[in-house]
Amino acid sequence: MPLADGEGITTEELRLAARNHGMPLEALRHDVTPVGLHYLLIHYDIPYVDPATYRLMIGDRQLSLDEIRALPSVTRPVTMECAGNGRAALAPRPISQPWLLEAVGNAEWTGTPLKTLLEGADGVEVLFTGLDRGVENEIPQAYERSLPFADATADDVLLAYDLNGAPLPPQHGFPLRLLVPGWYGMTSVKWLTRITVLQEPFDGYQNATAYRVRQSEDEAGTPVSRIEPRALFVPPGVPDFMTRHRFLEPGPTTLTGRAWSGHGAIASVEVDTGEGWREAELGSEHGWRAFSFEWDAPPGEHVLRCRATDTTGRGQPDEPPWNLGGYANNAVHRIAVTVG
């Protein structure tokens, strides 16, 4: 994928790319993304938190980590994706973390359902505040975002303290984070310090200014919310170090990958190896859904494509729709392969 506007990545974008980790796409082969391969987007710095003195404030209650860990616990696999995944392919390119396609991961998260902690409360929204602090658009702030009350109290929303069976690593929100399955990653506030039930909508930076789908700054736009459907290939064959172009032996090969959607289950995945769209075989579901496609690779240059449709009928566009922040670009995955 060339940079869409023909212009190089800036120093600011490179600084972000040097900090924020993508998941190398060959890691799609794992049902559960190993720690250290899951994508990371960290707005400010990773804060240091002492678990012994840590307290979560919910309104005027304070809970220690031991108290939270003593509550009923649930473990579930959840595919998380950054709202900016695919941003660097948009033209003109919105300037922020320049993700290509790697901002995804599928982990097993353990925590306690949030809704039991909000029992008896009522409000319009719930605000989640993290311990990470910085400046964004000249506004000093802690990272914080709100959710509509009904979404915050949905059955599957967790206060998560374990990742893949071990305490959260610092970079994933140690000791406690919000986990909102099906929503883009900015929703799942890390290093959670405070939960506040609001009687009117939150107008802070991350809800009112950032993370809105809009064409210009004059427009209010719509909030970024649930993850759009996407299918990605495990890149077949072997790569060139520099270009990442793929080389494959001719003959029968199994193309594999994963698909997910925050709106519903995956209904189908299609693959095009140059002969039109064909149905792929769906495999196990564990957070994301595996797919495979048998291909008798003929010598030559090929472009492979895959796309997912979910049970709500949502699919993937051939070309990415543009928006100011570069959010939710779920255009069809293309991989160029030299067979020979």
Which residues would be at the binding site for its own copies (CB under 8 A)? 1-3, 7-19, 21-22, 24, 26-27, 29-30, 34-38, 40, 42-46, 48, 88, 95-96, 98-100, 102, 133-136, 140, 169-172, 235, 238-244, 247
Distance between CA atoms of residues 333 and 207, nearest Å: 29
| Nearer to its own copies among residue 17 and residue 124 (C-beta) | 17
What is the maximum span of the chain, computed from C-alpha positions, in angstroms? 67
Q: How far is the CB of 35 from its own copies (least distance, A)?
A: 5
Which residues share a beta bridge with 183? 226
- Whether 311 and 208 have beta carbons less than 8 Å apart is answered as no
Helix (H, G, I), strand (E, B) or coil at 257: strand
Beta pairing partners, 79: 106
CB 161 within 8 A of CB 167: yes
| Shortest Å distance, C-beta 77 to its own copies | 18
* Residue 86 or 315 with smaller CB distance to its own copies: 86
Strand partners, 146: 127
Query: 27 vs 269, which CB is nearer to its own copies?
Result: 27
Q: Would you say 17 or 208 has its CB closer to its own copies?
A: 17
- Nearest approach, Cβ of 47 to its own copies (angstroms)? 8
User: Facing residues of 106 across strands?
Assistant: 79
Q: What token pair was written down for 129?
A: 């505040």
264 or 283, CB closer to its own copies? 283
What's the min distance (Å) between Cβ of 143 and its own copies?
A: 9
28 φψ region: left (φ > 0), alpha (ψ -120 to 50), beta (else): alpha
Cβ neighbours around 212 below 10 Å, total: 19
Q: Which is nearer to its own copies, 153 or 206 (CB)?
A: 206
Q: How far is the CB of 241 from its own copies (least distance, A)?
A: 4
Nearer CB in complex with its own copies: 235/287: 235
Dihedral over alpha carbons 87, 92, 94, 98 (to 10 degrees) = 40
Residue 173 beta carbon to its own copies: minimum distance, rounded to whole angstroms: 12
From residue 237, give the alpha-carbon distance in Å to each of 230, 240, 242, 245, 250.
22, 10, 15, 10, 10
Q: Are strands 246-248 and 333-339 parallel, antiparallel or unpaired?
A: parallel
User: Minimal distance in Å, beta carbon 204 to its own copies?
Assistant: 14
